[in-house]
Structure 1
């Protein structure tokens, strides 16, 4: 049953996101989010991990937003290659740049969480570092949405 479910999900992703730059932007974000949660699950300091859960949930809530932006971009300008489709004023380049930055920021948030595991500062400082990285992710996703809507 798992194979069939995976096959259907892959077909749905291909239909909604295509196989080009929008799909890759979405998948990169999702991989970063998965990594963040994997790190969180293996945190030895369970009290700290519990304190990070709201941030992790907020980041997870961004995945449908990223998917919606990528799906809308694919509907607007289908991509089947590594080239960003042309657009008036290059706004799709800006949308893709923000999605790419969101993926990078997600990876940096996971890295900050990893580093928090080894830093022995007070918990509030460690939480602030992770939250700051998560805020950067939210900002990039928001900007991608705004750019796509304005385009």
Structure 2
């Protein structure tokens, strides 16, 4: 049964996101989010629990990433693996930065949990993860704004 659900989801993703640039941006965010949660699962329960609010913020942003990627694919469906010139450059740049910031958030979470004493030892590590998570959200907002700009042209 799970096989058929996965096949339907894959077909839906190909239909809504294509197989090129916008799909890659979406999938990269998902991989970063998965990595962040894997890091939390490997941490000690008490230490990792201090990072859960940041993880929740990042997970709650996934529908926003998907919406930007779906709309960008509708507007520029022929884009395969090359960054589109002109109007969509800023949208792609911001999606890439969101993915990079998410990877940096996951790395900061790992470093926080691996530090002596973990997240319980110092608030600086938790604050670093939260700051990086806010950067992800800022890049997503910038991607949404760039897409609005493209629509208004």
Shift of 1:91: 2.9
Distance 1:94 1:148 in 2: 8
Which residue of structure 2 aligns with residue 126 of structure 1? 125
Distance 1:48 1:62 in 2: 23
Shift of 1:80: 4.6
Give the gaps of 5 or more residues in structure 2: none
Q: Decide whether the 8 Å contact of 1:102 with 1:140 is kept in 2.
A: yes
Show CA shifts across 1:51-70 (max 9, x none). 11111111000111000000
Show CA shifts across 1:122-149 (max 9, x none). 3321110100110111111110000001
Distance 2:109 2:17 in 1: 29
Distance 1:115 1:72 in 2: 36
Secondary structure, aligned partner of 2:82: coil
Q: Decide whether the 8 Å contact of 1:22 with 1:70 is kept in 2.
A: yes
State how 1:57-96 maps to structure 2 within 5 Å. Answer: 57-86=56-85, 90-96=86-92
Which residue of structure 2 aligns with residue 98 of structure 1? 94
- Structure 1: 4+ residue segments shifted above 6 A: none
- Count of aligned pairs between the two proteins: 147
Secondary structure, aligned partner of 2:51: helix
Which residue of structure 2 aligns with residue 2 of structure 1? 2
Which residue of structure 2 aligns with residue 110 of structure 1? 106
Shift of 1:50: 1.1
Q: Decide whether the 8 Å contact of 1:19 with 1:79 is kept in 2.
A: no
Distance 2:88 2:108 in 1: 30
Shift of 1:119: 2.1
TM-score normalised by L of structure 2? 0.91
Q: Decide whether the 8 Å contact of 1:48 with 1:123 is kept in 2.
A: no
Show CA shifts across 1:27-52 (max 9, x none). 001100000001011102x2221111
When the two chains are superposed, the root-mean-square deviation of aligned CA atoms in Å is 1.3
